[in-house]
Amino acid sequence: MSTFKQEPHKLLLIPGPIEVTDEVLYANAYPPVAHTSADFIPIFGDSIRLTRELLYSSDAQIFLIAGSGTLGWDQVSSNLIEPGEEVLVLNSGYFGDSFSDCLKTYGAKVDEIRADFGAAVSKSDLEKALLAKKYKAVAFTHVDTSTGVLSDAKMVGETVKAISPDSLVILDGVCSVASEEIRMDDWSIDAVISASQKGLGAPPGLSIVAVSQAALKVSATRKTPVTSYYASWKRWLPIMNAYESGKPMYFATPPVNLIRAYHTSLKQITRAAPSLADRFKLHKEASQRVKDAVAELGLKQVPTDPYYAANGMSAVYLPDGLGVADLVPRLAQRDVVITGGLHKDYKDKYFRIGHMGVTAVNPERGDLDKLIAALKDSVREAIASKKLQSRTENKRTTQVRPRPYLRTTSARL
Ligand SMILES: Cc1ncc(COP(=O)(O)O)c(C=O)c1O
């Protein structure tokens, strides 16, 4: 057991990257090893197996590749979709826009169902779209980090397979894996895209993608070549299979330190207390605590229906008259880092807080206590300062406004 303790730092409560445990950070600092070494192969193989377990899948193919969450979009767009094929995107915010852009980059013809700001796409709208046209795939953002909206992944998977069984269901889980339950096999999800830096509790830099065997077959039997070199599953599949069966194989150097850190986090998530089921419960409880505290301050959530509010993050409207710059730096002064809005039409109207991973599952750390205290003080201080500012401005305007008799006087002079 190491005695390593990370440097004192501001509490990182944005919706990713998040706080990581000392053990994870220490693993990341392990001297680099050869990616083909006997030390490293079981770590990689185990990471594949534990990722599968986390997603409640018996046989999904896991790809662990150096890159950020965005690389997951490139992987599914380039491997699963051929130019000219129709894809339906259920758009609940900024990340839906980007996912569409990525799909179009690889030649997909994209239709979108755009939910109102703060809402998720409804079952009836999805059904209507599926009945109107045949889609190669339906893609959606499980938690859109820009709005804190949680889509109903089970409903999406089941609805798509009921109406259009051959359509692939692609879930962007960058902001949901390990903070929201995802039952890949039971819910008929064909691809889950994620990244190391959010609920998965490791530093950024690892793209994590899980693909059903059916989707893998679709990619293997495509008619046109994959138009990406680095993201091609044909190149990565033998590497993943080799590592999983305990053998080394090279295509491009894996981020050995990051995989060690990810492996450490996966073991904490799947092998240590709390259990996976309890982890999801603790995320719900932590989320409710933050949402209750926000409500006590008289502030409103961006998600319009609590059923569609994420459990790993909150998006909250600022008090009237305040902008992001009035609040976020005040929390930073109290050593708590949160962030502003991201949706292009509303970004200065709301702020976002991440409450994933250790922050949610380890109450002894006191992260939520610190956050809630800092939030209360900062909101009150920002409101008081705004009031003072407007009183001073009013006074100044009253003072400088020339009174009629003075104007007459000066005119005479
Ligand atoms: C839902 C979602 N999808 C995709 C991404 C892109 O991931 P990355 O920034 O790691 O490339 C993000 C990033 O925050 C995200 O929140």
pTM attached to this predicted model: 0.94
Quote the ligand 1 centre to 63 CA distance (angstroms): 17
Instruction: Confirm or reject: Cβ of 74 under 6 Å from ligand 1.
Output: no
Quote the ligand 1 centre to 70 CA distance (angstroms): 6
Q: Following DSSP, what letter does each residue of 338-406 receive, concatenated?
A: -EE--STTTTTTEEEEE--THHHH-GGG-HHHHHHHHHHHHHHHHHHHHHHHHHHHHHHHHHHSPPHHH
211-252 per-position pLDDT tens digit: 999 999 999 999 999 999 999 999 999 999 999 999 999 999
Quote the ligand 1 centre to 58 CA distance (angstroms): 26
Quote the ligand 1 centre to 244 CA distance (angstroms): 27
Quote the ligand 1 centre to 69 CA distance (angstroms): 5
Q: Tell me which of 14, 18, 70 to substitute to probe ligand 1's pocket, judged by most ligand atoms within 8 Å of the beta carbon.
A: 70
Assess whether pLDDT exceeds 90 at residue 401: no
329-376 per-position pLDDT tens digit: 999 999 999 999 998 889 999 999 999 999 999 999 999 999 999 999
C-alpha 270/C-alpha 52 separation (Å) is 11
Instruction: Confirm or reject: Cβ of 175 under 6 Å from ligand 1.
Output: yes
Quote the ligand 1 centre to 190 CA distance (angstroms): 19
Token pair, residue 238, equals 């033998």
Q: Which fold has domain 276-390?
A: Aspartate Aminotransferase, domain 1 (3.90.1150)
Q: Whose CA is nearest to atom 5 of ligand 1?
A: 69
Q: Whose CA is nearest to atom 9 of ligand 1?
A: 69
Instruction: Confirm or reject: Cβ of 354 under 6 Å from ligand 1.
Output: no
Instruction: Confirm or reject: Cβ of 141 under 6 Å from ligand 1.
Output: yes
Determine the CATH number of domain 21-270: 3.40.640.10
Return the pLDDT at 77: 98
Ligand 1 atom nearest the C-alpha of 197 is: 10
How many percent of the chain have pLDDT more than 70? 96
Contacts from 393-399 at CB under 8 Å and sequence distance 24+? none
- Average pLDDT, integer, range 184-194: 98
- Relative to beta strand 149-150, strand 168-172 is unpaired
Q: Whose CA is nearest to atom 10 of ligand 1?
A: 69
Quote the ligand 1 centre to 79 CA distance (angstroms): 19
Contacts from 52-58 at CB under 8 Å and sequence distance 24+? 52/210, 53/270, 54/177, 54/178, 54/266, 54/269, 54/270, 54/276, 55/177, 55/182, 55/183, 55/184, 55/192, 55/210, 56/182, 56/183, 56/184, 56/185, 56/186, 57/184, 57/185, 57/210, 57/212, 58/185
Domain map of the chain by residue range? 21-270, 276-390
Residue with tokens 């109903």: 152
Least confident of 94-108, 146-160, 258-272, 381-395: 381-395
**Please, which pLDDT band fits residue 1 given cuts at 50, 70 and 90?**
low
